Amino acid sequence: MTTTVIDNIGLLVTNDPAFGHLTAERRDAALVIENDRIAWIGDSRHAPDADERVDAGGRCVIPGFVDSHSHLVFAGDRSVEFEHRMAGHSYGAGGIRSTVAATRAASDDTLRTVAGRIVEEMRAQGTTTVEIKSGYGLTKADELRSLVIAREFTDETTFLGAHVVPGEFAGDPAGYVELVAGEMLDACAPHARWIDVFCEGGAFDVDQARAILTAGRRHGLLARMHTGQLATSGGVRLAVEMDAASVDHCTFISAADVDDLAASSTVATLLPGAEFSTRQRYPDALRLLNAGVTVAIATDCNPGSSFTSSMPFCIALAVRELRMSPAEALWAATAGGAAALRRTDVGLITVGGRADVVILDAPSYVYLAYRPGVPLVHRVFDSK
């Protein structure tokens, strides 16, 4: 058994709901880590001895980020598509198909290397929990291997066979829905915790999404959804109806959608990296927060519409473009992400909880937005 004390913490963000206030901050604090768990939190002056002492030097300490939405199992490069989009061409769901072709052609080792490199990037930027989706295979075999590879990096794996209808089913979308909800799901379910559908024009409509999510539930998978990225649809209502843990994007949603979300336990996960990278309108975070909706922020890291692995960058966007306060954005990127994964053991620093702890190279988490693009992660403690 080894113990580590981190003392001389200028500002400790615990997010502990027992303290009432959103981020539950303490000044001049210390904490003790014992075997990957938090064993003690208190005043730095009263910090106990431990095997190892880490002097935080007055820095800010926060819970590790919980990135609840990413697509890391892929091959290929879409930088040219990005360049064209920045030159004024429009974004549609179809670009996904070019990644599908590259992913199908790639070896397992290539896919593993790409995913592993991005997970390392994320960790270096303070992310200690990540959800990873399939969705660039779109055959039974390729979705299966995508999930097997994703599981090597996280338990939070999501079957997204319903990402788009692949080219070979262009004339028979109903046949593809049948495959996803049938044979593909049978093969993939043992390797996934979640099932997700891209419910959007050009991808899947509400009835198709309902059929797929319902089939997933029969296999014990929990629902989450992509919807409202490009237009308003009935996707949010369906997410609430299906008791989805999270409905992601929520840029285009109706007043009734906001009311439905506020009355539900479904989290609205905002992905401002996608709006940044596709030059679309940003979601209205304050409308959701003011209505009492639980809001999370995630990267949506993927090679097409949001190729950032940085939660600090997404926090900066949430503050600058979504008008969230720095405290709201930090909470959304930690405890909010945990809620979007229906987890209570991550996204906070509490005695007995996991020691997923980030020391920022800054006196306050406000710096995450105040100094955008600057590496501010001093040290990461990861319980896994």
Residues that bind Zn ion (CB under 5 A): 300
Tell me which residue of 18, 64, 328 sits closest to 26, measured CA to CA. 18
Nearer to Zn ion (CB atom), residue 142 or residue 300: 300
Tell me which residue of 239, 237, 270 sits closest to 255, measured CA to CA. 237
Nearer to Zn ion (CB atom), residue 226 or residue 343: 226
Nearest residue to Zn ion on Cβ basis: 300
Work out how close the CB of 330 gets to Zn ion at its nearest, in angstroms, rounded to a whole number: 22
Q: Residue 56: helix, strand or coil by DSSP? A: coil
Tell me which residue of 246, 243, 210 sits closest to 133, measured CA to CA. 246
Work out how close the CB of 198 gets to Zn ion at its nearest, in angstroms, rounded to a whole number: 7
C-alpha distances (whole Å) from 94 to each of 100, 105, 165, 304 are 10, 18, 9, 10
Work out whether strand 60-63 and strand 357-360 pair parallel, antiparallel, or are unpaired: antiparallel
Which tokens sit at 156?
A: 């939070």
Q: Residue 305: helix, strand or coil by DSSP? A: coil
Burial 171-201 (b: 16+ CB within 10 A, else e): eeeeebbbbbbeebbebbbebbbbbbbbbbe
Work out how close the CB of 217 gets to Zn ion at its nearest, in angstroms, rounded to a whole number: 21
Work out how close the CB of 375 gets to Zn ion at its nearest, in angstroms, rounded to a whole number: 25
Nearer to Zn ion (CB atom), residue 300 or residue 328: 300
Nearer to Zn ion (CB atom), residue 300 or residue 356: 300
Work out how close the CB of 302 gets to Zn ion at its nearest, in angstroms, rounded to a whole number: 6
Nearer to Zn ion (CB atom), residue 7 or residue 67: 67
Determine the Cα–Cα distance for residues 263 and 220; give it in Å rounded to an integer. Answer: 24
Work out how close the CB of 301 gets to Zn ion at its nearest, in angstroms, rounded to a whole number: 9
Nearer to Zn ion (CB atom), residue 63 or residue 303: 303
Nearer to Zn ion (CB atom), residue 257 or residue 300: 300
Which residue pairs, CB below 8 angstroms and at least 24 apart, start in 121-125? Answer: 121/309, 121/310, 122/65, 122/67, 122/70, 122/299, 122/301, 122/309, 122/310, 122/311, 123/380, 123/382, 124/377, 124/380, 125/65, 125/309, 125/310, 125/311, 125/312, 125/375, 125/377
Work out how close the CB of 278 gets to Zn ion at its nearest, in angstroms, rounded to a whole number: 12
Work out how close the CB of 50 gets to Zn ion at its nearest, in angstroms, rounded to a whole number: 41
Nearer to Zn ion (CB atom), residue 198 or residue 367: 198
